[in-house]
Structure 1
Amino acid sequence: MNLTFDFAFEGFRIIRERPKLIAFWGAITLFGYGVMSLIMVQVAGPELVAFNTMVVNSSTMAAPKFDQAYMAQMTQQILLAGVFCLPVYLLMTSVLVCAICRVSLGETNDRLGFLAFGVQEVRMIAVRAATLALLMGLFAGICVVGGIIGLLASGASPQAATGVQTLSVIVGFGTAAWLGLRLSLNGAQSFETRRMDILGSFAMTNERFWSLFTGYATAMALAVVVRFLCDKIIEAVQVLSLGLKVTGDMIMPDLTNLTTFLTPASVIALVLTFAFVAPLMAAIQLGAPVAAYRALRGKVKPQKVEEKAAG
Structure 2
Amino acid sequence: MSFSATEAAFEGFRIVRRNPLAILFWGLAYVIFFVAFFALVGGQLATIIAQAETMQGGDPDIADLQALGMSYATLLGFAVPMGLIVGAVLSAGVARGVLFPSQKAFGYLRLGGDELRVMAVNIILGIVMGVGSFVVFMVVAFAAGVVAQGDQGAGVLTGVLLGLGALVLLCWLAIRLSLAVPITVAEKRIAPFASFAVTKGKVLPILGMAIIAFIMSILVSLLGTIISLPIMMMTGGGLEQLATMDGMSTAQIVQAAGPGLLAWGVVNAVVSALQLAVLYAPFSAAYRDIKGLPQEG
TM-score > 0.5, shorter chain as reference: yes
CA contact (8 A) 1:11 1:288 kept: yes
Matches within 5 A, 1:56-67: 65-66=59-60
Provide the aligned length of Structure 1 versus Structure 2. Answer: 284
Structure 2 residue 204 is the aligned partner of structure 1 residue 216: no
Aligned residue in 2 for 1:306: none
2:110 alignment partner AA: A
SS in 2 for 1:267: helix
| Shift, 1:209, TM fit | 1.7
1:37-61: CA deviation from partner (whole Å, max 9, x where unpaired): 677775576666666898xx9xxxx
More deviation, 224-233/106-115? 106-115
Aligned residue in 2 for 1:30: 31
SS in 2 for 1:212: helix
Tell me how large the CA RMSD over aligned residues is: 3.6
Distance change (3 Å), C-alpha of 1:152 and 1:206: same
CA contact (8 A) 2:121 2:190 kept: yes
SS in 2 for 1:253: helix
| Shift, 1:166, TM fit | 6.7
Aligned residue in 2 for 1:192: 186
Aligned residue in 1 for 2:295: none
CA contact (8 A) 1:234 1:272 kept: no
Distance change (3 Å), C-alpha of 1:35 and 1:155: farther
Whose relative contact order is higher, 1 or 2, with alpha carbons under 8 Å and at least 6 apart?
2
Partners of 2:6 and 2:119 lie apart in 1 by 28
Structure 2 residue 264 is the aligned partner of structure 1 residue 270: yes
Correspondent of 1:290 among 284, 287, 297: 284
Partners of 1:45 and 1:206 lie apart in 2 by 47
Aligned residue in 2 for 1:234: 228
Partners of 1:79 and 1:217 lie apart in 2 by 33
| Shift, 1:237, TM fit | 2.1
Aligned residue in 1 for 2:130: 136
CA contact (8 A) 1:23 1:275 kept: no
SS in 1 for 2:181: helix
Aligned residue in 1 for 2:8: 7
CA contact (8 A) 1:24 1:112 kept: yes
Partners of 1:150 and 1:172 lie apart in 2 by 13
Correspondent of 1:110 among 104, 112, 130: 104
CA contact (8 A) 2:47 2:247 kept: no
Correspondent of 2:240 among 253, 274, 279: 253
Distance change (3 Å), C-alpha of 1:4 and 1:161: closer
| Shift, 1:164, TM fit | 6.4
Correspondent of 1:125 among 95, 119, 124: 119
1:192 alignment partner AA: A
2:240 alignment partner AA: P
CA contact (8 A) 2:88 2:115 kept: yes
Matches within 5 A, 1:48-63: none
| Shift, 1:10, TM fit | 1.1
| Shift, 1:130, TM fit | 0.5
Partners of 2:226 and 2:61 lie apart in 1 by 38
SS in 2 for 1:291: helix
Structure 1: tracts of 5 or more residues without a match: 58-62, 245-249, 299-311
1:88 alignment partner AA: M
Aligned residue in 1 for 2:21: 20
CA contact (8 A) 2:3 2:289 kept: no
More deviation, 279-288/2-11? 2-11
Aligned residue in 1 for 2:199: 205
CA contact (8 A) 2:48 2:68 kept: yes
Matches within 5 A, 1:41-120: 65-66=59-60, 78=72, 81-82=75-76, 84-120=78-114
Question: When the two structures are superposed, what TM-score results if normalisation uses the length of structure 2?
Answer: 0.78
Question: When the two structures are superposed, what TM-score results if normalisation uses the length of structure 1?
Answer: 0.75
Question: Which has the larger helix fraction?
Answer: 2
1:113-161: CA deviation from partner (whole Å, max 9, x where unpaired): 2211111110110011101110011011123333444565676677777
Distance change (3 Å), C-alpha of 1:283 and 1:215: same
More deviation, 258-267/129-138? 258-267
Partners of 2:64 and 2:193 lie apart in 1 by 40
Partners of 1:72 and 1:164 lie apart in 2 by 34
